[in-house]
Structure 1
Amino acid sequence: MYFHSNPKGSASMQKSKPGIYDRYMPALNAEPTDAPAYWFVFLADTGRLLLHEQEGLKALPAAADADELGFKTLRSLYLGTLDGAPCYAAEAQEGTEPPVGSDFLPLRALYDRMDEDLFHLAGRALQILNWDVTHRFCGRCGSSLTLAERDRAKVCPNCGLNHYPRLSPAVITAILKDGKILLAHAPHFPDNMYGLIAGFAEPGETLEDCVRRETMEEVGIELGEIRYFGSQQWPFPNSLMIGFVAEYASGEITVDGEEIEHADWFAPNELPNIPPKVSIARKIIDWYTEEYGGKA
Structure 2
Amino acid sequence: MFRPDSQTPDSSVAALHIVFQRGKLVSNMRSPRPCLLEDSLIEQGGWQVRRRHFMGYWEDQPCFAVEIDETHLLDPMEFQLGTLWQILGRVDESLFSLAGRAAQVLDWERDHQFCGRCGSPMRGHPVERAMICEPCGMTSYPRIAPCIIVLVTRGVEMLLARSASNPRPMYSTLAGFIEAGETPEETLVREVREEVGLDVGDLRYFQAQSWPFPNQLMLGYFAEYAGGDIVCEPNEIADAQWFHPDNLPMIPPPASVAGQLIQQHLKSIS
Shorter-chain TM-score range: over 0.9
Please give the secondary structure, in 1, of the residue aligned with 2:95.
Answer: helix
Deviation at 1:50, TM superposition (A): 2.8
Distance 1:96 1:66 in 2: 11
Aligned to 1:121: 98
Larger deviation, residues 114-123 vs 97-106? 97-106
Aligned to 2:16: 38
Tell me the TM-score normalized by structure 2: 0.93
Instruction: State which of 27, 30, 46 in structure 1 corresponds to 2:5.
Output: 27
Cα deviation 1:132-170 (Å, max 9, x = unaligned) = 100011111111111112321111111111101111011
State whether structure 2 residue 106 is matched by structure 1 residue 136: no
State whether structure 2 residue 225 is matched by structure 1 residue 229: no
Distance 2:28 2:39 in 1: 13
Please give the secondary structure, in 1, of the residue aligned with 2:159.
Answer: strand
State whether structure 2 residue 242 is matched by structure 1 residue 265: yes
Deviation at 1:68, TM superposition (A): 5.6
Unaligned stretches of 5+ residues in structure 1: 1-22
Instruction: State which of 55, 58, 63 in structure 2 corresponds to 1:87.
Output: 63
Question: What is the RMSD of the two structures over their aligned residues, measured on CA atoms?
Answer: 1.9
Distance 1:142 1:204 in 2: 28
Name the amino acid aligned to 2:250: N
Tell me the TM-score normalized by structure 1: 0.85
Alignment check: 8 A CA contact 1:52 1:61 kept: no
Distance 2:117 2:12 in 1: 42
Deviation at 1:54, TM superposition (A): 1.6
Name the amino acid aligned to 1:173: V
Q: Cα 1:246–1:71, aligned 2, differ >3 Å: closer, same or farther? A: same
Instruction: State which of 268, 274, 286 in structure 1 corresponds to 2:251.
Output: 274
Deviation at 1:190, TM superposition (A): 2.8
Distance 1:145 1:67 in 2: 29
**Runs of 4+ residues over 4 Å off in structure 1:** 64-69
The alignment covers a number of residue pairs equal to: 269
Distance 2:10 2:25 in 1: 29
Distance 1:200 1:128 in 2: 20
Cα deviation 1:238-257 (Å, max 9, x = unaligned) = 11111100011111111122
Name the amino acid aligned to 1:147: G
Unaligned stretches of 5+ residues in structure 2: none
